[in-house]
């Protein structure tokens, strides 16, 4: 199942959005690889994804720490990341013995992560970042609006 990148994924933070888009592209590569599964290709895509995921999660946590985002949000961000990395590690152990089923499980895991972590927690992170520039202020306001809408706190949907 392909994920179509769109405005609904954009947090307004250029660095995060660029990384999320690349994560979606890699997830779509995995989906394409599953159409005619070849173990060595699935293993290669898995390794690309695993490496990129680690890079991206460190990037988000570094950004949150650098801007001294609320400790509770930072903790939740880290917990969600740790759970995701643990699942990737669990799947990685199974990849060699059962690449097709493992790649399918990874695809489901990534889709869930994108739909829940990216669209909720990362939008909260974006809303919590400082508004340093006029354009950045507008982007953050859009992210704050999306967070309020997701939580039913007000604003238009």
CATH number for region 17-116: 1.20.120.50
pLDDT at 95: 92
The pLDDT tens digits of the residues spanning 56-68 come to 999 999 999 999 9
Residues of the chain with pLDDT under 70: 131-157
pLDDT for 77 equals 95
**Helix extents (H) in 96-152:** 99-113, 122-128, 134-150
- What's the pLDDT at 23? 94
In this structure, how many other beta carbons lie within 10 angstroms of the beta carbon of residue 157?
A: 8
**What is the pTM assigned to this prediction?**
0.78
First to last CA, the chain: 26
H runs (alpha helix) in 3-152: 14-35, 39-66, 71-95, 99-113, 122-128, 134-150
pLDDT of residue 2: 87
Single out the residue of 108, 131, 111, 123 nearest to residue 153, CA to CA. 123
């Amino acid at each position: 199942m392909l994920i179509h990148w769109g405005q609904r994924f954009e947090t307004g933070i250029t660095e995060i959005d660029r990384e999320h888009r690349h994560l979606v592209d890699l997830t779509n590569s995995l989906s394409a690889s599953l159409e005619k599964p070849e173990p060595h290709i699935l293993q290669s895509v898995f390794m690309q994804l695993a490496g990129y995921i680690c890079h991206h999660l460190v990037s988000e946590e570094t950004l949150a720490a650098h801007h001294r985002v609320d400790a509770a949000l930072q903790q939740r961000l880290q917990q969600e990341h740790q759970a995701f990395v643990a699942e990737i590690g669990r799947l990685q152990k199974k990849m060699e013995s059962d690449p097709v089923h493992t790649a399918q499980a990874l695809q489901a895991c990534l889709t869930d992560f994108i739909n829940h972590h990216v669209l909720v927690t990362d939008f909260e992170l974006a809303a919590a970042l400082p508004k340093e520039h006029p354009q950045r202020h507008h982007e953050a306001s859009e992210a704050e609006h999306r967070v309020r809408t997701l939580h039913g706190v007000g604003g238009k949907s």
